[in-house]
Amino acid sequence: MDFASLAAQLNAGAILPEVLVTVTLLGVLTIDLVGGRSTSRWTPYLGIAGLLGALGALYYQWGQANPTAFLGEFNADPLSIVFRGLVVIAAAVTIAMSIRYVEQTGTSLGEFIPILLTATLGGMFLSGADELVSLYVALETLSIASYLLTGYMKGDPRSNEAALKYLLIGAASSAVFLYGASLLYGLSGGETRLAAIGAALSTLTPQTASGAVIALVFVAAGIAFKISAVPFHQWTPDVYEGSPTPITAFLSVGSKAAGFALATRVLVVVFPSVLEQWHFLFAALAVLSMVLGNVVALTQTSMKRLLAYSSIGQAGFVILGLVAGTAEGYASMVFYLIVYLFMNLGAFTAVVLFSLRTGTDQISEYAGLYQKDPLLTLGLSLCLLSLGGIPPMAGFFGKLYLFWAGWQAGLYGLVLLGLVTSVVSIYYYVRVVKMMVVKEPQEMSEAVKNYPPVTWSLPGLRALQVGLVVMVLVTSLGGILSNPLFRLANSSITQTPLFQAVPPSIANSRL
């Protein structure tokens, strides 16, 4: 093999965004090492700039003729571009909201940002990994960096508890996933590339196909852990509650998006031969997640736990798009994840801001907030209503698209269940809005009575404010003006080669 053809097969340009993130990571680390603590005034902004640069690089990658890179280890197709974009945006917003938060807890930003960027890197590679080994390495990069981040507040026992729980359950589930991967390796006769495994599995006889089902169950368990689908969700509330809030935000959006990227690629490429079985399996996950997540969220008293259970319920909605199995279904899943990114990060930014100013996450402490901080109240209300699927917020359009795609694919029962559980979810989201807006001045909570004067001049708060405003704006206008997002979601599916075999929806075939 001569150099030219090797270079073409390596196609190293496909990981330009990842290279940018890596350079930023090393840059921040080195600057912190050389310049000391004082550099942390501006290194976070360097991190955000690096991530935005990666986003730009992703934009230029769209529509590339040859997406396969590193001899088939990595795929830069539109699907992976969209998911990598989601991870990158989630990381950028997380940095914006953590500058002040980390400063206030007295820990060092110079380590926090490199670890977060490492997790981002893991998520990005996971979104594009096309081969078992690189897939597993990416998964572990994301997971190990996440364990570190979860326990970053060393002085806080809850943070330590969260890290330990996450580490133990995460390690177990990653072992289960690895076991499934090893079965795949054996069943396919020593293949590691996903496409080759898929092809080998489709030649199995009915007698040996049960092996594929067992592999599916193990792999699905690993995936369900990452997207915190019921019954693999037990870690979620404790970890979300104990982690530093910006990290909770990243786990609920960035890490989850990477999990869905993994799910989509593995299920569509590797398991088409056991299509019915994986549809059944994930339909069960969707039912359990929608019901349990939304019902248990009703009784929560801590804002972070509420958002944890709500994110379990939301994952159930997203799985609905996956189970639909049509091009429309996958597109609606991507669309909902994009919308979910903005509304959930918006909500978390508001929660971080509130806890910065009052030091608490209790829902009852939000009582009467509108009097002291109208912007925070408005932003949090809009994001929560969007999560509840109230029009004209973006979340309404996201849910509508999911349900419509599901309905067209014939998932009547799942769609009806989704409709019912989304009414349940309205109740607990509105409960928070009620606390903030409806309570009379005399019913104001202690935390709000002692609310500090609203100021944005402290270092790092400006970035948080920009993040909050952008998230809320996209959440409120992204629904009405969602044509660009719809096009992005649709073309990320239709232009990706691996979905060529997937049936388009009934409506599309008629158009």
Partner 1 sequence: MLTLLILIPLAGSLVAAWLPRAWAVGFALATWFESLWVLQQFDLHTPGLQLLEYQPWLPQLGLNYSLGVDGLSLPLVLLTSTITLLVLWGAPLSIPPERRQLFNSLVLLATSGVMASLVAQNLLMFLLFYELELIPFYLLIAVWGGQRREYAAMKFLIYTAVSGILILGGFLALGGLSGSLNFDYAQIHPEHLSQRTQLLILTLLLVGFAIKIPLVPFHTWLPDAYVEAPAPVAILLGGVLAKLGTYGLVRFGLGLFPDTWHLISPGLAAVASLTIIFGALAAIAQKDIKRMVAYSSVGHMGYVLLGVAASTPLALVGAVAQMVSHGLVLAFLFYLVGVIEVKVGTRELDVLNGLLNPLRGLPLTSAMLIAGGMASAGIPGLVGFIPEFLIFQGSFSAFPIPTLLAVLGTGLTAVYFVILLNRTCFGKLDNHTSYYPAVTWQEHAPALVLTGLILWFGIQPSWLVSWSESTTAALIAAINL
Residues of the shown chain interacting with partner 1 in the complex, contacts defined by CB under 8 A: 328, 331, 385, 390-392, 396-397, 400-401, 403-404, 407-408, 415-416, 419-420, 422-423, 426-427, 430, 433-434, 437-438, 482-483, 486, 490, 506-507, 510-511
Instruction: Check residue 232 and report its DSSP letter.
Output: S
Closest CA to 100 of 453, 470, 463: 463
The CA distance from 120 to 510, in Å, is 41
For partner 1, the closer CB: 175 or 438: 438
What's the closest the beta carbon of residue 114 comes to partner 1, in angstroms? 40
Instruction: Check residue 74 and report its DSSP letter.
Output: E
What's the closest the beta carbon of residue 47 comes to partner 1, in angstroms? 36
Q: Count of alpha carbons within 13 Å of 170, Cβ hemisphere only?
A: 23
248: which residues sit within 8 A by CB, 6+ positions away? 239, 240, 241, 304, 307, 308, 348
What's the closest the beta carbon of residue 413 comes to partner 1, in angstroms? 12
Element (H, E) at 88: helix 78-104
For partner 1, the closer CB: 57 or 502: 502
Q: Are 149 and 243 in contact (CB under 8 A)?
A: yes
105, with CB counted inside 10 A (0-12, 13-18, 19+), is middle
Cis check: omega of the bond before 231, within 30 degrees of 0? yes
CB atoms within 10 A of CB 145: 21
What's the closest the beta carbon of residue 379 comes to partner 1, in angstroms? 15
For partner 1, the closer CB: 457 or 483: 483
For partner 1, the closer CB: 214 or 423: 423
For partner 1, the closer CB: 25 or 436: 436
What's the closest the beta carbon of residue 8 comes to partner 1, in angstroms? 37
For partner 1, the closer CB: 159 or 505: 505
The CA distance from 12 to 454, in Å, is 48
What's the closest the beta carbon of residue 65 comes to partner 1, in angstroms? 27
What's the closest the beta carbon of residue 362 comes to partner 1, in angstroms? 19
321: which residues sit within 8 A by CB, 6+ positions away? 329, 330, 331, 332, 333, 334, 336, 402, 405, 406
The CA distance from 418 to 402, in Å, is 10
What's the closest the beta carbon of residue 447 comes to partner 1, in angstroms? 20
The CA distance from 416 to 391, in Å, is 19
For partner 1, the closer CB: 95 or 433: 433
Element (H, E) at 466: helix 461-477
User: What tokens were used for 156?
Assistant: 């806080």
What's the closest the beta carbon of residue 408 comes to partner 1, in angstroms? 6
Q: Are 262 and 126 in contact (CB under 8 A)?
A: yes
Element (H, E) at 412: helix 412-437
For partner 1, the closer CB: 280 or 412: 412
For partner 1, the closer CB: 178 or 426: 426
